Every structure is written in C-alpha cells, then in structure tokens.
A and B are shown apart, each in its own frame.
Chain A
Amino acid sequence: MRALFFTLLLTMTWSPVTQAAETLYEIRVDGLACPYCAYGIEKKFMQRGIVKTFDMDFKKGLVKVTLKDGEEMTEPQLKQLFDEAGFSYRSVNKKAL
C-alpha cells in the first residue's frame, strides 16, 4: 500500500515536470501563401522525428511546432529547414508549456 502511495505521488509530481519540458515554437516565416505550401514544411519537421504537434497560421505567417520532451531546434537549423522548403525564416518565439 505504501509503495502504491509513493508511486502515485511520484507520478503526480513527475507529470507536470514532464509537460513543462515541452516547448512551443512560434516561427515567423515569409512566403507562406497557400495550403499547398504547408505540406513541404510539415514534412521537413516530421522527418526529424522530434515534433509532437504542427500547425500554421497563414494570416500571421506563423508556423507553430511543439517538440517532444527535451528536444530543441536552433535558429540555424530552423533557417536551413525553411530554406530547403523554399521559404524564408525570420524569427522564433519559444514558449514553455
């Protein structure tokens, strides 16, 4: 019973820590103008195997990516990724979740 209690306690305390390790990348990108553009970018991110969620906001020119726990991408990596997809990386705003 005591072991179960500590297991539950550990799970409850560990879980928020795990979620806090996730980071939302809001990436400003120029050149996004149609839905067909989106797939090339999404594919580039997914190929890295570190992306948990992917979304875009055309109106704001934003690509929103949540990376898996403990993963991160640097600005040079982001610039290269968008260059390869045919778009222009401008800036990134990282938010801890």
Chain B
Amino acid sequence: MRCLQWTPAFVFLTLTMGVSSVVDAVPITFNTALPVAEGEFIFRQQLRWLRSSDDPSEADRDMRVVATISVLGYGVNSKLAVFGVLPYGDKTLEMNRSGTEIERDNQGLADATVFARYTFWQDNIRGRTFRLAGIGGFTAPTGDDDKSDGFGRLPAPLQNGTGAWDWFGGAVVTYQTLGYQLDGQFSYRHNREANNFDAGDEARLDLSWQYRLWPRKLSGGVPGFFYGVLEANYLHQDKNQRGGQSDENSGGDTVWLSPGLQYVTRRWVLEAVVQKPIYQNLNGNALKNDQIVTTSFRMNF
C-alpha cells in the first residue's frame, strides 16, 4: 500500500503548531518578538484547517486536518519569555488503494513543544519599536506514534506524534509603528529519528506586514486597532529517511501567501488568515497542499 508522504504542508502545520502559533506575535502564521511583560501570561487558542489533495500519484490522496493549538506564554523578565504549546489534531486521509477508496483517520493530542525567546536588542522611540530576538526549544514525543487501524500501522503523518525529540532555533525581528508592523522570522528545525523514520530537517523564512485599517486617525485613549495582514511563508524540507534510505517522494520547497485580518484590543486579539501555496516544488509524488485556514483568539492576563 502506498504511504502518505510527510509533505511540507504537514511539516508546516507541525512547525506552526509549535513555534508559530504563539504568543504575542502580531503575525498570525508565525511567532514574533512583541513583548510579554515581566510576570505576564499570554494564552492563545488557534483553530486550524489544512487540506492537501493535489496528488500527482494514482493514489488520489486527500488529506484533511483540523487542529486546535493551545499556547501559554510567560514573561520571566522583560527580555526572556517561555512558552508551552499543546496541539490536538483530527486527521483524515482518503485514498485509492488498488481501485478501492479507503479512509483512515486519527485523533488525539500531538507532540508538545516548549521554547524560550530572548530579546537581544531593543530600540524604542516614540510610537515605534524595533526588537531582535532569538528563539530555541524542543518538541517532546507526547503524542501517540504507534496507532494502527484495520489496514495496519498508520503512516507517520497520520500519527499524533513523531516519537522523536526534535529541536529548533532561530531569530525573530520586529519593527512596529502605530501605523504598521513588519516582522520576519528565520528558523531551522532538526528532526530526529524514531520508529525507523526520520523526517527531513526544515528551514523556514516567514515575513509579515500588518497595516492599521481602523481607526484611520488616532486621538487619545486606547482604541482597538483593526489590521489588514499579508504574510509570506517559505519552507524547505530535506528528504525523509526511512530505514536509513532516502525517501525520494518527500521534501521540497513551498511558498505560501497569506492574507488575513486582525482586531487588537488591550486585552484580547481576534484574527484569521488563509494561506495559499503560490509555489510548490516538491520531490517525487509528495502530496501538495491546497490551503491552510487559521482562526485565533488570544488574551493576556
């Protein structure tokens, strides 16, 4: 039976479950460097839909994922913040197997992520701030990685967890004004082997631009801000290794363009974004992504 490949779309989802979904980021699709004040908590809850049905193979695979991602952050001091991320996923795969349509699915808690962010450099001027931070953390194998169904053991992308301890690191830069904000993030993730499977390492570059649509003119007080958001995400994934052999139907490069909306108040934020792949150069028969839709609520306390 043909296996579902560990495609960049699922890698992206895994990554964003861990690193990106966080915190005080004004960007929606990735984490960034806005401050978590000392002694302050931030909670973020995301709901994410992902679909990948562009299958170059005869298996005609159609993968759907609905995930909730809970994030809790804490400001240890004005420079150091720590975060914990716990995703829950509901995955469904439909595919053609020897002329017969089959469906496989799985639900459950996924791998938990813990990471820290340290702001190395900060320059504040009136109505503007520039911040440069480093991030680093790990993903623990808290999700089940050995589930099976009537067809046998589920392929790696359908499992809740990877079974491996993975680590990642990167840098985040933010330039924020009263009218707009620019963010950029680079990160590298080293995925380790478990269950005779080693997902390829990943490098990603994320950019975000948020423009204040309302209020057009600022007066006194602290009004809510309504932002238009445009983000771009680039992901490169190395080929997977299975049993020490390189999987030629895995890995590649993907670029998403992501328009979104965001309403920001002093206590809470509502936001939504649609990520559409505009470039997918995947290896072999790796399953291509259709889109990712994310809605999110966050608050600080």
Binds A, one of B91-99, B175-183, B188-196, B228-236: B175-183
Give the Cβ gap from A14 to chain B, nearest Cβ, in Å. Answer: 32
| Chain B, range 217-234, C-beta contacts under 8 Å to A | 218-225
Report the number of A-B residue pairs with Cβ-Cβ less than 8 Å: 100
Contact B37 A33 (CB under 8 A): no
Interface residues of B in 191-248 (CB under 8 A from A): 218-225
- CB pair B266–A85 under 8 Å, yes or no, is no
Which chain B residues lie closer than 8 Å to A56 at the CB level?
221-222
Contact check, A34 vs B77: say whether CB atoms are below 8 A apart: no
Indicate if A72 sits at the interface (CB-CB under 8 A).
no
Q: Does any Cβ of A come within 8 Å of B281's Cβ?
A: no
A43 to B177, CA, bound (A): 22
**A48 near B: Cβ within 8 Å?**
no
Q: Which of A34, A44, A55, A87 lies in contact with B221, CB distance below 8 A?
A: A55
Q: With A and B bound together, what is the CA distance between A34 and B265 in angstroms?
A: 8
Q: How far is the CB of A32 from chain B (nearest CB, A)?
A: 7
Instruction: Decide if A40 touches B35 in the complex (CB within 8 Å).
Output: yes
Total residues of chain A contacting the partner, CB 8 A: 28
Name the B residues within 8 Å of A43 (CB-CB). Answer: 37, 39-40
**B176, A35: Cβ atoms closer than 8 Å:** no
How many of chain B's residues touch chain A, expressed as a range?
Answer: 35 or more
CB <8 Å contact, A34 and B126: no
Give chain B residues whose Cβ lies under 8 Å from the Cβ of A30: 124-126, 128-129
**Is A78 part of the binding interface, using a Cβ–Cβ cutoff of 8 Å?**
no
How long is the Cα–Cα vector from A86 to B117 in the complex, in angstroms? Answer: 14
Is A35 a contact partner of B225 (Cβ separation < 8 A)?
Answer: yes
Least Cβ–Cβ distance between B193 and chain A, in angstroms = 40
Asked if B127 contacts A61 (CB within 8 A), the reply is: yes
Whether B266 pairs with A38 at a CB distance below 8 angstroms is yes
Check B57 for interface membership: any CB of A closer than 8 A. no
Alpha-carbon gap, A69 to B223, bound state (A): 29
* Contacts A36-B34, A39-B300 given; does A86 touch B122 at CB 8 Å: yes
Give the complex CA separation of A30 and B128 in angstroms: 7
Residue in B125, B218, B221 whose CB lies within 8 Å of A31: B125
**Does A42 reach chain B (CB closer than 8 Å)?**
yes
B38 at the interface (CB under 8 A from A): yes
Using a CB–CB distance below 8 Å, which chain B residues touch chain A?
A: 24, 26, 34-40, 75, 77-78, 119, 122, 124-129, 176-178, 181, 218-225, 264-267, 269, 300
Contact sample, A vs B, 8 pairs, CB 8 Å cutoff: A28-B126, A31-B124, A32-B127, A35-B265, A39-B266, A40-B40, A44-B37, A86-B78
